[in-house]
Structures are given as structure tokens and as C-alpha cells.
Structure 1
């Protein structure tokens, strides 16, 4: 394929590789990717089956013209006689490439999450999973009780990191910058940004010196505008660090001599503004989410139901927040009550039925499963309001009854249709049937 339209992406290449063995190391593909200065989608062919593999590939920002090869993503093996995939509609090759790569990634993006940020999040998750495997192996061999307790604590922490929303960083030119929502706007870790701009090995000392310099320059209100907010550290504990909102950060970085200052200012403006836009106008957030699902290849009818389900879920969690459910664990308990009543399955059990690991369960539901989930959650919301339920136990009772309403409907459907509603069908299977052959 040869197109024009973007100064970085002038060509996307498709490589067919005939295999004698179903396994091919990513190191081999990496050698090819590094030798060819264009994005490549590989089609691995073995005994009448095809598997797509591609890396996230982008041009270095230092002006060297060098292409950087990042994480690899792969489809499932599919029959080579399956219909060819239709290329996504895109105005330029860069957008086309990103939309194609989204189809290879089995982790759903968050609202407004760019491809680069999604890839960085996946790298962190993969890193934690590798560490989990290593720790589990050590646990099996360890004989000392105290050491086992220590290893188990680390295991629990990493599991928490993988399962929760703590793996949430902004990414600027491949570097992680921690951010946190505070009083309706994003606040960024000053030390992280100092490290990105300066490349310093001791960014905390640089920031300490810079604060004194800014005070001498007359920026006396700096200390009033810096807020200490807590981020989770590797040991699982929370530590306070200096944070600034985009406006204050703009002033700080003006005093740092770096060629990255202007690109970083644009990045901060974009990252901060997009979130504020979504707070002021939630429809923008929903539009971005819809666009991401379209990039992933979901049918429009399914996307419409998923969007409605997100709104119903938000309505429910808003009620929980004001009625006494405070922690993510309590939210999980209430959600499990609804799912148990509706489908006779807890969330983790449901994932197992669909062959999922940590993917978002609802992104792999069929239309009827989404509708029944909405019915259970909408009924629970109505019960909360009608009964003015307060506290976790009354909320749990409502959740059980809301789930039971959806469960009764499910059983009626199954009785009349003669088929189960809950199936192992998931979006990965849909992709395998419809979208994995590229020509």
C-alpha cells in the first residue's frame, strides 16, 4: 500500500510470512521492523491459518528520523478462508495505521485514551504480570515463613495494581507523568515534568533549586499554588509530592532551559483542556468513547447499547456515592450482587466463561447481555431512590433485588428461546470471524 497525506507516515507495509512452526519470536519481527522505516503489519501463515502481528511503531521526536519499535500485539489464529477485513475509513495514513492497530489490541481503551497512552499502560500491566509470575515461582520454593509473608504482601500489591485504576499515567514523548484529578482539574507531578525536561537523575534536587530560583525572580506566590497530593509508590503506600495545575506548570517550565518546553506546554494544554471539556460537557466524553469503539471495529448497534449502558452505570454509581458506598471494594460487592442475580455469575466467574483475563467484561457482552445488565442496574437505581436507601446493607439488598428482576427476565427469555443467554462469545471471537484477514 502506498499513500500520501502525513509527513511521518507515507507508507504502510504488509508482510506475509510462511511458517514451518506456529511460533515465531518477536525478536525476529523486531529485526525486520528496525530495518524498514515504515509501519508493518505481519501476517503469519501456518497450515491454512493466519495470525496478525504488529508493533506500535512511531518516529522519534528528536528529529533523527529514526523509527522506534514498541510493544507487539497479535490476533488469534483464524482460518485463512475467512473474508478479508475492510480497511477503516481515515483521512491520512497515521490515522489509518492507529485504527488498524487498535484492532490488534485486546485491552479496551479508557475514555479519551490515546493509542500511545494505551500502549504505555499495557507495558506496565505486562511488566507487573511478569513480576507476578516470578514472585509466584519464588513463593513455591521459599521455605522461610517470614520471607513468604513478605513475598505474599508484594504479590497482593501487584495484583491490586493490575486490577485497579492505579496504573494511570499521562505520557509525553514516551515518558510517564503522574497526574491526579483535584477540584475539577488535572494536577501534574512537578518532579516528573522536571525529569522529562531536564533528563536529570536527581529531579527532586533540581526542583528544590528551581523553587529558590523562582522565588528570587519574584514568583513569590509559587508556594501558595503548589499543592502536595498523594500518589501510590512501589511499596503500595501513598506519598505526598508537589503538584501543579496546567496554569502554574506553564510558569514553572518557562524557567527551565530545554527544547522540550514548547511541545510540553502544548501537551499540557491539550491533556488538561480535554478533561475540563468533558466535565463541562459530558457529551464530549461519550463522543470520544464512541469513536474509540468504532476504531476497535464494534458494530454501530452494539455501540449504541454500550453507550446507553455506560450512562445507566454512571447514574447508579452516582447514587452509591451519595448513599454511603465509598470504596472501590464496596462498588465491586454491589456490582457482584447485581450480576449474581441477573446471570447467576459473579464478575470474575463471568470473565472465565468468556475466556477473558482482565479485559472489561461489558466490552465482550452480546446485545442481550448488555440489555439485561442495564435492566438490573436501572432497577437497582430506582429502588435506591424509591426507598431512599442509605448505607451498604440497604444498598446491597436493593442490588440483589435489582439483579433478580433482570435474572427473571433472562430465565423467561431462555425458556422461550430454548437457548442460554450467557455464552462464551466475546469480541475477540467476533474479530476472529470478521476482521483478521488483511489484503
Structure 2
């Protein structure tokens, strides 16, 4: 699984209670930890001493955390809670039976609070057999390695020489436009007044033009 160098192996069990006991979490989130998670293991530590790759301006270490599940699904709030408590970038590997799934969070520096970062969104692979999940450690520093993990896990395609940050911003803008177009199309289908229907169609065309140039 993953195929990372032996020098990065850590293999330390983390009690799942660490992420909800003596910490202010909702009863619902605590129940998810108790019912959906069997075990949590810290599998790898990707850092300058273990990889011989320099740390980045933002990414100092990358931790690989395996979460063994009782069933092949997990509330994303669990990942956010773990990300909140561990002040490093985390590559999550969810496992259930002989299937695994990788998750990465697109992080930005937190503006306030004790958390070092905030996760804007998560990317993940499909479920696959353990020996099918491999990731390349690609980059001159850990900033680049992390960006390439997100690209590999999320299937992000960089366009027109965009950086990862730029491409994610473009993709998010596209998603918002598509949702707005779908909303207006539904309104137009249900609209009975010709004038109002015409206005909605014009709005749809304007948004579609914006989408076409992205």
C-alpha cells in the first residue's frame, strides 16, 4: 500500500479517544468515532530526516494516518476533527476489509484560533484493493510533494500552466457556475410567465458564457 520508503515508516497506534475525550466535540461526532472507527494508526512520517527532501515554506511534515473502519464510509467531520488536532498535513488512508481509499485535505493557513490550518475541501480516490493504491513522492520540497498528492488523489488536472491553488480556484468557480445554471434552468422550466422565463434564459446564457471561457 502506497509504496513509501521504509525510512518513513512510523506504525504507531493512536487511541481514537484522543480526538474526542477532554475535547469539546458534539455527541454526534463522538458517536461516529465510537461506532464507525475500529483503529487509528500513524503509518508514515514524511519529513526532511526520513525522505531527504527539504521541508517547504508551508508543509513541514506529511503524516500518513490509516483509519480502519467498521463499514466502508466515514463522516467527513471525523477527518476535520483529526486535521484540527494534528498541526501537520495529513494523508488519510481509510481501510475496510481488503479495500482502501486515500483522502487529502486542501488546506490554507488559519486566520485565527489554535489550529494551524483550515481545510477548505477534501479530495479522495475510489475504493480499491490495498496493492492498487500507490502514490508517487514527486517534488523538490514537501510543498511540491503535498501538492502532487492532492493532484494524484483528487485527479486534479492543471490547465494552462496553472498552479494547484489557481486550478482549484478555477474548478470551484466552475462548480458554482454549474450549480447556479442548474438552479436557473429548473426555475425556467417551472416558470409560466413568458417575460420572466425570458429573463431566466438570458441569465443562463450569460452564466454559460462565463463557464465556456474558464
TM-score of the two chains, using structure 1 as the length reference: 0.33
Alignment match, 2:140: 91
Matched, 1:58 2:108: yes
Alignment match, 1:127: 176
Name the CA shift for 1:74/1:11 in 2 (closer, same or farther; >3 Å): same
Q: Deviations over 1:304-351 (max 9, x none)?
A: xxxxxxxxxxxxxxxxxxxxxxxxxxxxxxxxxxxxxxxxxxxxxxxx
Q: Give how far 1:23 is off.
A: 4.2
Q: Give how far 1:61 is off.
A: 8.1
Matched, 1:158 2:204: no
Name the CA shift for 1:141/1:16 in 2 (closer, same or farther; >3 Å): farther
Alignment match, 1:3: 47
Name the CA shift for 1:124/1:50 in 2 (closer, same or farther; >3 Å): same
Q: Which runs of structure 2 are paired with 1:364-375 in the superposition (5 Å)?
A: none
Q: Give how far 1:117 is off.
A: 0.9
Q: Deviations over 1:146-167 (max 9, x none)?
A: 22222222222223322323xx
Distance 1:160 1:13 in 2: 42
Which of structures 1 and 2 has the bigger CA Rg?
A: 1
4+ runs deviating over 6 angstroms: none
Q: Deviations over 1:105-147 (max 9, x none)?
A: 3342123211111111111112122223322332343332222
Name the CA shift for 1:151/1:70 in 2 (closer, same or farther; >3 Å): same
Q: Deviations over 1:274-322 (max 9, x none)?
A: xxxxxxxxxxxxxxxxxxxxxxxxxxxxxxxxxxxxxxxxxxxxxxxxx
**Residue aligned with 1:109, SS:** coil
Alignment match, 2:16: none
Matched, 1:68 2:112: no
Alignment match, 2:66: 16
Q: Give how far 1:41 is off.
A: 1.7
Matched, 1:34 2:92: no
- Whether the 8 Å contact between 1:71 and 1:123 is mirrored in structure 2 is no
Greater percentage in helix: 1
Alignment match, 1:148: 197
Name the CA shift for 1:139/1:36 in 2 (closer, same or farther; >3 Å): farther
**Residue aligned with 2:205, SS:** helix
Distance 2:71 2:193 in 1: 43
- Whether the 8 Å contact between 1:15 and 1:43 is mirrored in structure 2 is yes
Distance 2:71 2:140 in 1: 38
Name the CA shift for 1:85/1:135 in 2 (closer, same or farther; >3 Å): same
Distance 1:65 1:17 in 2: 21
Alignment match, 1:109: 158
TM-score of the two chains, using structure 2 as the length reference: 0.63
Name the CA shift for 1:154/1:35 in 2 (closer, same or farther; >3 Å): farther
Distance 1:25 1:135 in 2: 31
Q: Give how far 1:97 is off.
A: 0.8
Alignment match, 2:127: 77
Name the CA shift for 1:51/1:163 in 2 (closer, same or farther; >3 Å): farther
**Residue aligned with 1:153, SS:** helix
Name the CA shift for 1:128/1:28 in 2 (closer, same or farther; >3 Å): farther
Greater percentage in strand: 2
**Residue aligned with 2:154, SS:** coil
